Every structure is written in structure tokens, then in C-alpha cells.
Amino acid sequence: MKKTVLLAGSLLMAWAVQAQSMVNGYVYEDANGNGKKDRSEKGIGKVAVTNGREVALTNGKGKYTLPVGEDNIIAVIKPSGYQMPLNQNNLPQFYYIHKPKGSPELKFKGVAPTGPLPKSVDFALARAKESDEFTTLLFGDPQPYTVEEVDFFARGIVAEVESIKNVPFGLSLGDLVGDNLTLFNPYIKAVQKAGIPWYNLMGNHDMNFDAKADSLADETYEAHFGPANYAFNYGKVHFIVLDDVLYPDPRDGKSYWGGFRKDQLDFVENDLKHVPKDHLVVLAFHIPLSEPDGDAFRDEDRQRLFDLLKDFPHTLSLSAHTHLQKQDFFSKAEGWHQDKPHHHYNVGTTSGDWYSGKLDKNGVPESTMRDGTPKGYAFLRFKGNQYVTDYKVAGKPKEYQVEVFAPKVVEHGRNTSAGIYANFFMGGGRDTVMYRVDNGEWKKMEYQKEHDPTFLHSLHEWDYAEELVPGRRPSNAVPSTHLWRGSIPTKLPVGQHTIEVKATDMFGRTFTQKASYRIEPKKTVRQ
């Protein structure tokens, strides 16, 4: 009898342990919008839910079951045709944090203890009309280090897109703040004014630097934004957002390295099992994938990611981090498995060159990036599984896509080492840039990898000014990946001449910009 009681007790304890190691819940259509699953509200089948590694589909009644430990975030992967609830700051509420004991003690506060797991962790969705043709807004590196720089970001960037129309959501590509994680809330309040749902991802300046393991470096981020790794669908596009900052660097325990933990790539693998192969997969993270053996990104992690994407013909990846703008293409030589190269777009930043440079008429730093790209933000325009990328320079008309640099005056008939330069901000080595003078013959410009002369000229203004210039001197120039050069004609008639530049991008679109220079006769030296 005693043995029977002991056995029964052991079975009950084992069952209890097993029951506590699983999370159950429903994904349901919240018809009345109260955020609670009422008896009359039906579950939604075939919706993916994740614990950060495993991914489960709901059954016909909308129910899911997933394993859970002591540190998990349960998140629904929004299906197309539905919208998620938002909090007062327009942040999507698609997750439940399960940290019974809360975050470990850190310099910046993490997640408070969440207590026992609820009986049912449910996710409310509402039906929504989603066109397969839509536009997404992208912010690279807001990265304010002070409240003053949050204000620069708000007035210089967010004010331009405040209450933007016909854009269903936005995404910031990491470095939401600059090491001071108490600025998360001011950042959130600034972006709220865009008036649209806003997603975020974690950058290397958003981490808990006193964390002892990479899995704990996002505790304060999680308390404000939820999971650092998640996914969602809109139209025929599947978005995967990942934290690709390994901290501490596993090579030496210092600094950070670009890459992924195994559990993150397991999540990608499990998630992609439920994504139609004809959909566009857009991956977003902070640190660029970089080239193999470039040392900025762990090669085996990039390769496994490419392996997981081998059966998806439509892909795009996004990053920021470098405070430069760059188009990269990965071919089979770099480990990509398809004939069509993988496009990786490293987006220019909203902070530009870290809020440096002269102040504009509104008292906001001009902050041109070191490659000559003005600060700004990007748009992704989708049509089915196809996309187009656009970059908008802050404070300029949307047509401003090329900066032309040329001498103001040259001597008639005299050879000169000066040239005409075109910085095509969204361009790359595969693009074609032409120029002509005075409506003459179009000539091809030569692609260059050198310092942008307009940016160099601005540095000279700082370095050789007779009086101190307000603000902070920009960083030194680095070679631009979107610069072209043409020779400047000097044998034209004396007078003013018009330069016209025409740049054609990877999508077949053409952008033009004009400039001018003057030809004067040789001046004689008077004795």
C-alpha cells in the first residue's frame, strides 16, 4: 500500500513538473477588441507561435503548446490579414515574457519577476485589410547619447514623418540609443509621433554591457520592446528580426562580434518551415553580414543562415551599424546557394555621423556620413514578393538622390586633374552613372572607391576655419562605395556651363541632378 502511494505521488510530481514545462494558449480573433478571449470568440488555426527557438502552429481551435523554461518570451508570428494590438506608444503587443524570477541584477533595470506561468497565454488578433502592395519605413541608428540628441532625432527625422500616411509600419535597425539605456523611453516617445506601429531590433549600443552571457545582454531591451528575435507577416512578405550582436565576444570575452547563437538560427530554421517558398523573406539585424573572412561577422553563422534560405528564391537582408550606406551582393563564391545573388542593404543612419557637423536652420546637426551620404531614412516598397528600396535625405526633396561636385571655375583649354564627381547615395558598383555638359553627348562616368570630395571639402572648412565652428567636427572621411567620376571639359566657350548627371539604379529607375561650372580665359600676371 505504501509503495502504491509513493508511486502515485512520484507520478503526480512528475506530471506537475512536466505540466509546468509547457505553455498553452490560444490565438484568437478579438472581435470586440477588449484584449480578452471571450467564449464567443473563435480561435485562429495555422498561426505560428514561438518560444524563441521552437515554433508551433495552432490547431483548428487556435490552440498551441510549446515547451518553456525559466527565461522565455512566447510570441505570436502575425499572419497576413491580421493586425496586433498596440500599446499607447504604438509598439505591437505580440509577446508574453516568462521570467518567474525576473532579470538578473544589472546596471540598467531589466524585466521584473513575472511569477508563475498563467494557465493560458493567449494572443489577440484583429482582421485587417492588407494589400500585397505596401511600404515600410526604416530608421538606421537613432543612437542618441543624451537627451539633447534625442531632441535632434525628434526634430531632424521624426518630425518629417509625423503622422505619415499609407505606411502600415516602421522598423528601427538597432542602436536605438547610445549605451545609456535610460534613453529607451525618450526614444520611444519620439518615434511614437510617427503615428504608425513601430518595430525595433537590438544593436550593440542597446546592450547590458555588465551581462555575463550573450543571452542576458538584452534584458533591458526586452523590458521595453519584448523579444530580440521574432517574426511577422504582411502581405506576401515574411519579416525575420534578429539580434546579431554576440556579447561578450566569444573569442576573447571582450567587446562584441557579429553573429548568431545556435538557438537563434534554430528559430529561423523552425520558422521558415511555415513560410511559403514563393514569399519574400526579409531579414533585419544590426551588424551587416559582411564578407567571408572579413572578421566583422562569424563566417559559420552567415553560412548556416544562407543554408536555411537556399530554397527561398526571394530574399533581402537589412542592417545599419556602420553609419555608411552600402549595397552588397552575395554570390555562390560567398556561400550563397542560388544563381541570383542575395541582396544585402546596409541602410544609412538617422543620426548620420553621430550628430556632428554644422547646425542647420533649425539648430540640428547636418551630420553627413563619412562616405558622403547625408543623414536620412529609407523606404521599402513591396509589390507581392518584389521590392524596391528608396532613401530619403532629411530636409531635402525626395528627388535629391545624387550630389554633384565640380570645380567652380577652370581655365579655358587647360588640362586639369579636377573632375566631376557624382555621389549616388543608393548606388553601387553595378549601377550606371552618365553625365553630359550643355546638353551634349552622354558619357559614362567611372566608378571610384575613394573619399567623397564634397565631404572632404566640408572637413577643410572645419580644420582651417578662422573661428571655431559651433557643433562637433565630423569624423574623418572613408572611401565611398557609391561614387563616380568624369573628366571636366575645358575647351568649351568661355562662360557658364551646365553639368547634368543621370544615375540608373538596380531597379531600372533613373535619377538626375544638375550643377554648373565656369570657364574663364587665362589670366596674365602683371609685371
Q: Is 442 exposed, middle or buried (0-12, 13-18, 19+ CB in 10 A)?
A: exposed
User: What cell was used for 510?
Assistant: 533613373
pLDDT digits (tens, 9 = 90+) for 71-122: 999 999 999 999 999 999 999 999 999 999 999 999 999 999 999 999 999 9
DSSP per-residue string spanning 329-357: EE-GGGT--SSSPEEEEE---SSTTTT-B
Q: For residues 110 and 122, what is the distance between their CA atoms, to the nearest angstrom?
A: 23
Q: For residues 22 and 402, what is the distance between their CA atoms, to the nearest angstrom?
A: 55
How is residue 472 annotated by DSSP? B
CATH 2.60.40.10 domain position(s) in the chain: 402-520
Measured in whole angstroms, how far is the alpha carbon of residue 527 from the centre of its chain?
63
* Residue carrying C-alpha cell 514569399: 279
Q: For residues 491 and 330, what is the distance between their CA atoms, to the nearest angstrom?
A: 44
| Domain boundaries 402-520, CATH class | mainly beta
Q: Could you say which residues of the chain have pLDDT below 70?
A: 1-20, 527
| Beta-strand relationship, 48-50 and 198-200 | unpaired
Q: For residues 478 and 449, what is the distance between their CA atoms, to the nearest angstrom?
A: 9
DSSP per-residue string spanning 247-309: SS-TTTSSS-EE---HHHHHHHHHHHTTS-TTSEEEEE-SS----TT-SSB-HHHHHHHHHHT
In the chain, the amino acid numbered 271 is D
In the chain, the amino acid numbered 371 is D
pLDDT of residue 19: 42
pLDDT of residue 56: 98
User: What cell was used for 246?
Assistant: 554576440
**First CA to last CA across the chain, in angstroms?**
125
Q: For residues 135 and 123, what is the distance between their CA atoms, to the nearest angstrom?
A: 26
Q: For residues 26 and 47, what is the distance between their CA atoms, to the nearest angstrom?
A: 10
Torsion of CA 477, 483, 488, 494, to 10 degrees: -80
pLDDT digits (tens, 9 = 90+) for 501-523: 999 999 999 999 999 999 999 98
Residue 501 contacts residue 433 (beta carbons within 8 Å): yes
In the chain, the amino acid numbered 381 is R
Is 88 strand, coil or helix?
Answer: coil
How is residue 70 annotated by DSSP? S
pLDDT of residue 291: 79
Q: For residues 427 and 205, what is the distance between their CA atoms, to the nearest angstrom?
A: 28
Q: For residues 521 and 412, what is the distance between their CA atoms, to the nearest angstrom?
A: 5
User: What cell was used for 456?
Assistant: 572632404
CA distances from 385 to 113, 133, 241 (A): 42, 9, 18
Q: For residues 323 and 356, what is the distance between their CA atoms, to the nearest angstrom?
A: 12
| Domain boundaries 2-124, CATH class | mainly beta
pLDDT of residue 9: 43
| Beta-strand relationship, 510-520 and 409-411 | parallel
pLDDT of residue 527: 62
Close Cβ partners of 457 (under 8 Å, ≥ 6 residues apart):
405
Laid out side by side, the sheet with 72-76 consists of: 55-57, 48-50, 72-76, 95-98
